Chain A
Amino acid sequence: MDDKLDRELRSHLQHQVEAYVAAGMSREEAERRARLDFGGIEQTKEDIREARRWHVFSVLGRDVRYGLRMLRKNPAFTAVAVLSLALGIGANTAIFTLIDAVLLRMLPVKDPQQLVSLRLDDSKVHGNHWTDGDSSTAYPYPSYEQMRDRNQTLSSLIAFKTLGRLNTQVNGVAELARGQLATANYFSALGVQIILGRDFSDTDDRSGAEPVAIISHGYWQRRFGSDPAVAGRSLVINNVSFTVIGVTAPEFFGLQAGNQIDLSVPFHVQPQMLPDLANNGPSLFTANNRWWIELMGRLKSGVTEEQARANLEVIYLQSLSDATAKEKDDTKQEPPVQVVSGARGLMNLRNAYSQPLWILMTVVGVVLLIACANVANLLLARATERRKEIAVRLAMGATRARLIRQLVIESLLLAVLGGAGGLIFAYWGSNVLVAMMRTDYNRMTFDLHPDFTILGFTALACILTTLLFGLMPAFRATRVELTSALKLSSLALGGQRMRLSKTLVVTQVALSLVLLFGAGLFVRTLVNLQTQNVGFVRDNLLLFGIAPREAGYNDARFAALCREVQDRASRLPGVKSATSSLHLLLSGSQRGQSIKVPGYSPAPKENMSVRVLPVGTSFLSTMGMALLQGRDLTEHDDENAPKVALINQTMAKKYWPNQDPLGRHFSMGKMDLEIVGVVQDSKYSSLRRDAGAVVYHPMVQDIATMHSMHFEVRTAGDAAALIPQVRDLVRSIDSRLPLFDVRTQTQQIDELLLQERLFAKLTTFFAALALLLVCVGLYGIMSYTVSRRTSEIGIRMALGAQRETILGMVLREALLLVSIGVVLGVAGAYGAAKAADAVVSGLLFGLKITDASAIVVASLVMVAVAIFAGFLPARRASRVDPMVALRYE
C-alpha cells in the first residue's frame, strides 16, 4: 500500500520534471522546481492515508449502526441468538480458563522461560523416592550440592521438598498448612519478591541455625491478619518454634498451579521438624542413596537444555558413591538425567488434569457448534423475512458484496454480544468448577481472572463462530432473483432454505447424540464405581485422624493414646464400635512392603511386595469385613505377644495354594509374622483396582514406623452427627492434637470419586445444554414448516382430514428429522468412541467405550425430546381453521 503510494507520487514528480525540461530548464533545475511545487511529500502521503482510513471507518460505523438497529427491531430473535452464543462461548471460555491456569500459564516469576526442571528417567531405579509417571523428580541432597557448585550451564540451581501436611500453631490456634523445605537461594533464584521482611540468607540454611520461615501472602492475610509487623513474630510448625522473617509477593503460589504453598523453611531444619523423613537412617544431607528433593535450575543465556543435561548428568553420576551403584545390583546403569522446561512449573498436576480438560474442551467445542447451527438457522429464517428488503436494496444499486458485509457485521455484533455474555458465564462458571474440584484436604487455588490470553481466546471464538454461522446465511440471503422476490410473498419461497435448515437440525441432533452418549458413559462409570461391592460396610462410618508424633509422643505413649482414643470413642453414645488403622480404606493412601515366604520361590524379578494395613482391635467387626478362617485380632496381640497377621483371600491363594495358611509364617522387614486368619478380599486404596495381596496386622506391634493414626467409628445413626462429640473427646485427651480427615466413609468415597463425579456432572450438564439448543432449533424449524404449510393444511382439513391426522403428519416430520440425526449420531458416536478409545477408556469403569445401553438411552432421550419439541407446532397445525388458512396470503 505504502509502496504503491510512493510509486504514484514519484510518477507525478517525473512527469512534472519532464514538462519543465521540455520547457527548456536544465534537469537539475527542473527537479528542484518540481519538488518545490509538490510541497511536503510525506505530509501528502499522510493525508492520503487519512482520507482512506476515514472513509473505511465511516462505512463501518454506518454498518454497525444499521446492524444494531436491526437487532433492536427483533428483540426475540436477538435474545435467543445472543443467549445461545453466550452459553456456547461461555462454556468454551470457562474450560479454556482452566486449561490456561493449569496447563498453559507461565509461573509468575522472573523470566520463567529460563527455568528447567530436573528429573530422572527411571523405569528401573528403586529407592526411597516417589515417582510420577515414568520419571522421578527426586535427587539425593549431596548430588544437589555438587551439581549446584560444579555446573557450568546454570546460573542458579534450587532445591525444594514439598510437604503436604504441617501441624502449625499461630497464637495457640492449631491448623494444618502446606509447606516446603527450600534452599536459601530459592526465592532469589526464582526472582520472587519478598514484599515484607527479608529473604533467606545462606546462614539460615545451616545445621543448628535459628529456625526461620517465609510465609505466603495468603497465609499472612489468613493467619496473621495482614500484620505489617509480622517479621519477627513466632510460628510453631510441628512443635518447632520458627521466627517469621518474610512474606512473598501475592502472585507467587509455589511451583505447581493449584497447590498453594503456605510456608517455606530452610532445608536444615528437617532433623528437628520432620525427623521421620530420615526413617532412623543416616542424615539425609550426607546420604547419596536417598532420593528425596526436587531440583529446578535457571539456564545461563545461550545454553540449551541438552547442554545443561549433559553437563549435569556427569556431575550427578560422579556424586553417587560406589556403594550406591552396588546397591542397585539389578541395574548397573544409572537412569539418565532429564532436563525439561520448568516455565510452567511442575508437571504433576498438569499430567493429572490435562487429559480430562482436553476432553471437556472437545465437549464444549461441540456445544458451541450446536449453538452456531441454531443461530445460523435463525438467520436463515430471518433472511427469508428480509428477502424483500434485500431485493429492494439490490435494485437500488447496492452491490452484493456490500450487502454480505452488512449481514456479516450483524452476525459479528451478535457474536460480540454473545461473547460478552460468555465472559460473564465463564468467570462464574470457572470459579464454580474449581470449587467443585476443591476438597477439604486439597484446597486448589487458581488465578482465574480473565487476562489477555483468555480475552484473546474469547475474541477468536467470536470471530470463528461468526464465520461459522453468519457467512453461509449471508451468501444465501443475497442470492436473490430480483423480479420474483419483489413480486412474491416471502412464504412462497424458501424451499432451498428449508433443506439447508433441515440439514442443520439433523447435524445438531447427531452432535448432541454423541454428547449424550459420552455423558451416559461417564454417568454409568460413576454409578458402577459407587455401587460396587467394596468388601466392607460403608454407611454409618465416621473417620478421623491424629498425628501425635509432632506433639512429641514416643512409641509407648503413641500406642497408649491410640488405645485410649479407640476405647473412649467406642463408648460414646450412639456408637456401636470403633477401631483404628494406619490409613483409611479408600482414601488413596496405602502402605506397601516386601515379604519373604518360606517355601515360596519367587520368579526372577518377581515383585514380592504386598499391601499392608496396620490396624487396631475389632477392625474386621467394625468395618463389617468377613472373616473366612481363623480369628480376628484381639487386645492380647500386643507389643509383647508373638507377631501375628490376617491375610486376604488373594494372598492366601497366591502364596499357599491348596494349603491351609493358618499357622504359617512369613517375614516382612524385620518382623516374622504368624497367620491367624483369612479375610475376604476388599478394596484398599482404590475403587478401580483390586487390592491384590493384603496383610492386616496389629499396629501396636510395629508402632515405631507410624507417625499418624486414623480411627473408624461405626455409628447407629447418621455418622456426621457425631463429629462434635469426637472432637470434644480428642480435645479432652490432648488439646494440642488437631484432628484431620474428619469425614464419613461415604464422603471419603465421594472425595475419591471427585474427578469421576465432576466428569459425570459436567458432561451431563453440557449434554443437557446441547439438548436444550436442539429443542429450540427443532421447535423453530417445525413452527416454520407449519406456518409455511398453513394453506396446505387448510386444504387438507377442508377436504376432511382429522385433527389427529394433521398432528401425526407434523410429528412424523419432526421424528423423521430426528431419526436421520439419530442414525448419523449413532454412527458418529461409534466413530468417536473408536477414535477416543485410547484417551477415554482409562476414565471408564465397568463398561466398554462402545456400551450399547448408553447409546440406546441416548437415542431414546433424543426421540423424546423430538416429540416434545415437535408437539407444540403440531398441535398448532391441527388447530388451523380451514377458512382462515385458505385465505392466508
Chain B
Amino acid sequence: MPTPKGDLLQGTLDLLILKTVALGPLHGYLIAQRIRQISKEVLQVRQGSLYPALHRLEERGLLDAEWGTTETGREAKFYKLSRKGRAQLDRETATWDQMARAIYAILQTAE
C-alpha cells in the first residue's frame, strides 16, 4: 500500500481521516482543515497525500462518499464513515492506543 508522504507515521493518515469523519460527513478540504485545527497546526496534510488516501479508503469500503453542496453553496464530495469503517476505526484506535502507551512507557524509563 502506498505510504502517505510527509511527516506522518505509516498508516496514521488513514486513522486520522477515519477519526475526522466519524463525527459526520466532510469534504476533502474540511478534512484537511479539521486535522490541522485539532492538532493545533502540528499536522499538515498535503493534498497530494490526502486525496489518494480518501480514494483508497473509499475503494476498501471504509468510507462512503456522495456529492453534495456546502453551506457556501459549492459542490463537493462528502465522505462519511461506513459500518465497516467504524469497526476499522475502533480496531485501529485500540492498536494505536496500545502502541502509544508502549512507546511512552519505554521513553519514561529512567536512564
CB of B52 within 8 Å of the partner chain: yes
Interface residues of A in 2-28 (CB under 8 A from B): 4, 7-9, 11-12, 14-16, 18
- The A-contacting residues of B in range 21-61, CB under 8 angstroms, are 27-30, 46-48, 51-53, 55-56, 59-60
Please give the distance in Å from A739's CB to the nearest CB on chain B: 76
Q: Are A56 and B59 in contact (CB under 8 A)?
A: yes
- In the complex with contacts A11-B76, A15-B74, A51-B29 CB distance below 8 A: no
Q: A43 near B: Cβ within 8 Å?
A: yes
Q: In the bound complex, do residue A12 and residue B29 qualify as a contact, i.e. CB atoms below 8 Å apart?
A: yes
- Among the listed B46, B53, B70, B77, which residue makes an inter-chain contact with A51, where contact means beta carbons less than 8 Å apart? B53
Chain B nearest Cβ from A535, distance in angstroms: 79
Residues of A within 8 A of B1 (CB): 54
- A50: contacting residue among B2, B47, B60, CB under 8 A: B2
Flag if A12 contacts B28 (CB, 8 Å).
yes
**Segment 35-59 of A: residues with Cβ below 8 Å from B:** 37-40, 43-44, 47-48, 50-52, 54-56
A51-B74 in contact (CB<8A): no
Q: Which of A8, A40, A56 contacts B28 (CB 8 A)?
A: A8
We find that the number of chain B residues with CB closer than 8 angstroms to chain A is: 24
Query: B109: CB under 8 A from chain A?
Result: no
Q: Mark B69-83, 1 if CB is under 8 A from A, else 0.
A: 010101111000000
Instruction: Tell me if A39 and B48 are in contact (CB < 8 A).
Output: yes
A397 at the interface (CB under 8 A from B): yes
Measured between alpha carbons, how far is A770 from B59 in the docked complex, in Å? 45
Q: Are the CB atoms of B84 and A52 closer together than 8 Å?
A: no
Contact A48–B29 (Cβ < 8 Å): no
Which listed residue, B29, B51, B56, B84, touches A15 by the CB 8 Å rule? B29
Binding site secondary structure of chain B: helix
> In the assembled complex, which residues on chain B have CB atoms less than 8 Å from the CB atom of A43?
48
In whole angstroms, how far apart are the Cα atoms of A670 and B75 in the complex? 98
- Given A15-B74, A397-B84, are A48 and B51 neighbors across the interface (CB < 8 Å)? yes
Please judge, given known A-B contacts A8-B28, A16-B29, A51-B55, whether A44 and B48 are in contact too, CB under 8 Å: yes
Check A51 against B76 for contact (C-beta < 8 Å).
no
Could you tell me if A52 and B48 are in contact, using CB atoms closer than 8 angstroms?
A: no
Complex: chain A residue closest to B30, CB-CB? A15
Cα–Cα, bound, A52→B27 (Å): 18
Q: In whole angstroms, what is the CA distance A44 to B50 when docked?
A: 9
| A51→B2 contact, CB < 8 A | yes
Q: With a CB–CB cut-off of 8 A, which chain B residues contact A50?
A: 2, 52
Chain A hits for B59, CB < 8 A: 51-52, 55-56
- Specify the chain A residue showing the minimal Cβ separation from B32: A12
**CB atoms of A48 and B52 under 8 A apart:** yes
Q: Which of A14, A47, A397 contacts B51 (CB 8 A)?
A: A47
Q: When the two chains form their complex, are residues A39 and B75 in contact, meaning their CB atoms are under 8 A apart?
A: no
- In the assembled complex, the Cα of A50 lies from the Cα of B74 at a distance in Å of 27
Query: Are the C-beta atoms of B46 and A39 separated by less than 8 Å?
Result: yes
- Taken together as a complex, chains A and B put the C-alpha atoms of A16 and B31 apart, in Å, by 12
Instruction: Specify which chain B residues have a CB less than 8 angstroms from the CB of A37 in the assembled complex.
Output: 47
In the complex, are the beta carbons of A44 and B52 less than 8 A apart? yes
A9 proximity list for chain B (CB < 8 A): 47, 51
- How far apart are the CA atoms of A44 and B29 in the complex, in Å? 15
Determine the chain B residues whose CB is within 8 A of the CB of A44 once the complex forms: 47-48, 51-52
Is B47 within 8 A of A12, CB to CB? Answer: yes
In this complex, what residue of B is CB-closest to A56?
B59
Does A47 contact B2, Cβ atoms closer than 8 Å?
A: yes
- Whether A14 touches B47, Cβ cut-off 8 Å, given contacts A8-B28, A55-B56, A56-B59, is no
The complex places the Cα of A39 from the Cα of B46 at a distance, in Å, of 9
CB distance from A137 to the nearest CB of B (A): 61
Contacts of B65-100 to chain A: CB distance below 8 A = 70, 72, 74-77, 84, 87
Q: Give the docked Cα–Cα distance between A38 and B60 (Å).
A: 25
List, in ascending order, chain A residues with CB within 8 A of B46's CB: 39
The distance in angstroms between the C-alpha atoms of A9 and B32, with both chains bound, is 13
Find out whether the CB atom of A52 lies under 8 angstroms from the CB atom of B72.
Answer: no
Give the residues in chain A near B74, CB-CB below 8 Å: 11, 14-15
Contacts of A14 in B (CB 8 A): 74
**Nearest Cβ in chain B — how far from A873, in angstroms?**
45
A39 to B84, CA, bound (A): 32
Closest to A40 in B: B48
B75 interface neighbour in A7, A16, A51, Cβ under 8 Å: A7
A18/B72 in contact, CB under 8 A: yes
Closest approach, in angstroms, between the C-beta of A4 and any C-beta of chain B?
8
| Min distance, Cβ B26 to any Cβ of chain A, angstroms | 11
Bound form: Cα–Cα A397–B84 in Å: 9
CB distance from B65 to the nearest CB of A (A): 9
A39 in contact with B47 given A12-B28, A15-B29 (CB within 8 Å): yes
Residue of A nearest to B58 (CB): A52
Complex-state Cα separation, A284 to B27, whole angstroms: 86
Contacts of B70 in A (CB 8 A): 15
Report the Cα distance A44→B5, complex, angstroms.
12
Q: How far is the CA of A14 from the CA of B69 in the complex (A)?
A: 13
Residue of B whose beta carbon sits closest to that of A16: B29
Partner of B76 from A8, A39, A40, A397 at Cβ < 8 Å: A8
Contact of A11 among B2, B27, B48 (CB under 8 A): B27
Taking the closest CB of chain B, its distance from the CB of A196, in whole angstroms, is: 58
Using CB atoms, name the residue of chain A closest to B72. Answer: A18
Give A522 to B17 CA distance when docked, in angstroms.
Answer: 72
**A718-743 interface mask toward B, CB cutoff 8 Å, 1 = contact, 0 = none?**
00000000000000000000000000
**How near does chain A come to B41, taking the closest CB pair, in angstroms?**
14
Would you give the shortest CB distance from B1 to chain A, in whole angstroms? 7
B24 to chain A, nearest CB (A): 17
Q: Which single residue of chain B is at the shortest CB-CB distance from A53?
A: B59
Check B56 against A11 for contact (C-beta < 8 Å). no
* A48 to B52 Cα, complex, angstroms: 4
- Cα(A50)–Cα(B52), bound, Å: 8
Q: Are A38 and B75 in contact (CB under 8 A)?
A: no
Given A8-B28, A11-B76, A54-B1, A38 and B47 touching (CB < 8 A)? yes
Query: Are B55's CB and A52's CB within 8 A?
Result: yes
Roughly how many angstroms separate A71 CA and B83 CA in the complex, as a whole number? Answer: 32
A773 and B66 CA atoms in complex are apart in Å by 50
Q: How far is the CB of B52 from chain A (nearest CB, A)?
A: 4
The answer for the CA separation of A262 and B60 in the assembled complex, in Å, is: 64
Greatest chain B CB density within 10 A among A15, A16, A38 is at A15
- The reply to whether A51 and B52 contact each other, CB–CB distance below 8 Å, is yes
Distance in angstroms between the alpha carbons of A23 and B62 in the assembled complex: 35
Contacting residues, chain B, for A15 (C-beta < 8 A): 27, 29-30, 70, 74, 76
B residues less than 8 Å from A4 (CB atoms): 77
A56 / chain B contacts, CB cutoff of 8 Å:
59
Task: Name the B residues within 8 Å of A39 (CB-CB).
Answer: 46-48
Q: Is the CB of B76 within 8 A of A48?
A: no
User: Do the beta carbons of A54 and B47 come within 8 Å of each other?
Assistant: no
Interface residues of A in 550-596 (CB under 8 A from B): none
Residues of A within 8 A of B77 (CB): 4, 7-8, 11
For window 811-842 of chain A, which residues contact chain B by CB distance below 8 Å?
none
Q: Do A55 and B60 touch across chains, with their CB atoms under 8 A apart?
A: yes
B61 → chain A, closest Cβ, in Å? 8
Q: In the complex, which residue of chain A has the Cβ closest to the Cβ of B1?
A: A54
In the bound complex, how far is the Cα of B47 from the Cα of A54, in angstroms?
A: 19
User: What CA separation (Å) do A8 and B52 show in the bound complex?
Assistant: 12
Name the residue on A nearest B77 (C-beta).
Answer: A8
Give CA–CA (A89, B24) in the complex, Å: 53
Residues in B with CB closer than 8 Å to A8 are 28, 51, 76-77
Residues 394-413 (chain A) with a chain B CB within 8 angstroms:
397
Contacts of B53 in A (CB 8 A): 51
In order of increasing CB-CB distance, the 6 nearest A-B pairs are A15-B29, A51-B52, A51-B56, A47-B52, A55-B59, A11-B76
CB pairs A–B below 8 angstroms (24 shown): A8-B51, A9-B47, A11-B77, A12-B51, A15-B27, A15-B29, A15-B70, A15-B76, A39-B48, A47-B2, A47-B51, A48-B51, A48-B52, A48-B55, A50-B2, A51-B2, A51-B59, A52-B56, A52-B59, A54-B1, A55-B59, A56-B59, A397-B84, A397-B87
Q: A8-B51, A51-B56, A54-B1 are in contact. List 4 more A-B contacts (CB 8 A).
A: A11-B76, A40-B48, A47-B2, A52-B56
